[in-house]
């Protein structure tokens, strides 16, 4: 594997580095704390079903986001830290921790690219020593959430566009980079890098990876 500044090792988060969805963990705790309404559990169930059926559609008005309107940044960040300490830290695959450590030991830079909201994954990134985070960003005005996101969610083609823009800005080639993901939703970015890696892949991605000779890793 090339070292130094040749490229970046890029990871998805949910079900790639972690067993469970970081966003679902956050929302569950926020409901427990009374910050978000418990009826939101129905939106989560719908989100999960459409995601696994491959029919989910995300946009800046995704159903869950308006529930965050009016909440202060420090409240959300504190909940994110508690979510990580309570659940998300234990959700990290031990094999993922070992892999990221090995890559760092080899002199590689490690980045995460996720559709999850940036403050939710920030504690995980800090714990794992991640060098750069690209994630969906919630919009704040004077420290208060507007309930909207900045730009578009980091999902499907938008994730690819964001990563390629970052690489171009820093004079890096996608051909020198790896991308690790569990989901066929990430095929646009997987197809754009020099070394696509399917990690705990869903059934569609596993088929594609085998057909194209991509590396497949099953982490425990």
CATH of the domain at 67: 3.40.50.1000
Full domain range(s) for residue 191: 8-217
CA dihedral 105, 109, 110, 113 (to 10 degrees): -170
Query: Judging by beta carbons within 10 Å of its beta carbon (0-12, 13-18, 19+), is residue 70 exposed, middle or buried?
Result: exposed
Is residue 24 included in any domain, yes or no? yes
pLDDT of 39 reads 61
- Averaged pLDDT for residues 152-171: 93
Q: CB count, 10 Å around CB of 171?
A: 7
Number of structural domains the chain divides into: 1
Lowest mean pLDDT among 43-57, 65-79, 192-206: 43-57
pLDDT of 2 reads 38
Is residue 63 included in any domain, yes or no? yes
Whole-angstrom CA distances from 27 to 83, 133, 135, 149, 156 are: 9, 21, 17, 16, 22
Is residue 150 included in any domain, yes or no? yes
Task: Say if CB 133 and CB 120 are below 8 A apart.
Answer: no
pLDDT of 43 reads 52
Is residue 99 included in any domain, yes or no? yes
pTM exceeding the 0.85 threshold for the entire prediction:
yes
Confidence of residue 108 (pLDDT cuts 50, 70, 90): very high
Strand partners, 181: 198
Confidence of residue 60 (pLDDT cuts 50, 70, 90): very low
């Amino acid at each position: 594997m090339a070292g130094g500044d040749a490229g970046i090792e890029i990871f998805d988060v949910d079900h790639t580095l972690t067993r469970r969805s970081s966003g679902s963990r956050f929302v569950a705790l926020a409901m427990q704390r009374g910050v978000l309404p418990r009826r939101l559990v129905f939106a989560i169930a719908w989100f999960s079903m459409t995601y696994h059926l491959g029919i989910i559609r995300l946009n800046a008005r995704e159903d869950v986001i308006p529930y965050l309107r009016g909440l202060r940044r420090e409240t959300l960040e504190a909940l994110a830290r508690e979510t990580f300490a309570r659940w998300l830290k234990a959700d990290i695959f031990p094999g993922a921790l070992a892999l990221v450590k090995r890559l760092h030991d080899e002199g590689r830079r490690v980045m995460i690219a996720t559709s999850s909201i940036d403050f939710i994954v920030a504690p995980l990134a800090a714990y794992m020593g991640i060098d750069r985070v690209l994630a969906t960003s919630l919009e704040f005005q004077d420290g208060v959430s507007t309930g909207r996101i900045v730009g578009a969610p980091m999902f499907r083609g938008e994730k690819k566009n964001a990563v390629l823009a970052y690489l171009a800005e820093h004079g890096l080639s996608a051909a020198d980079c790896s991308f690790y993901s569990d989901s066929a939703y990430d095929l646009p970015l997987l197809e754009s890098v020099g070394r696509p890696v399917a990690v705990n892949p869903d059934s569609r991605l596993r088929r594609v990876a085998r057909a194209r000779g991509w590396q497949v890793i099953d982490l425990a």
